[in-house]
Amino acid sequence: MADAPVHIMFAYSGSDGASLMMSNPRVLVIAEKGAEVAIVEEHFGVGEEDGGCYWANPVVDIIVEEGARVVHSYVQRQSPAAAHTKWTTVQQLKCELVIFTSVEMAIIRSRTT
């Protein structure tokens, strides 16, 4: 395993609620044969009241090849006025281990699939 995790940060900001800002970030992780990686995926609001009104719609695809190990941590700290939908897929090809941990805070509506 690497000395430190790969830390992927997504910062969102929106409007006062009159219109809805939307963000659709995409991430592809390929853990090649025998690789070991830890990933921290973090989503947070910035600005007034931690980002205002917005919709975050991220997708993460993880491909884990033979003998690889992946530890994926997910942290969500967003505006109380935000909506968040998330899709994570993991394709395992005879891998040893995949661990997923999720922490979600201060959001009006959230769905992780």
Tens-place pLDDT, residues 74-94: 888 888 888 888 899 888 887
Do 33 and 68 form a contact (C-beta atoms < 8 A)? yes
Confidence at residue 50, expressed as pLDDT on a 0 to 100 scale: 58
Residue 69 lies in a domain: yes
pTM of the complete model: 0.78
Owning domain of residue 72 = 6-112
Residue 91 lies in a domain: yes
Residue 1 lies in a domain: no
Q: Give the pair of three-digit tokens for residue 59.
A: 């997708």
Kindly state the percentage of the chain with pLDDT values over 70.
Answer: 73
The number of folded domains in the chain is 1
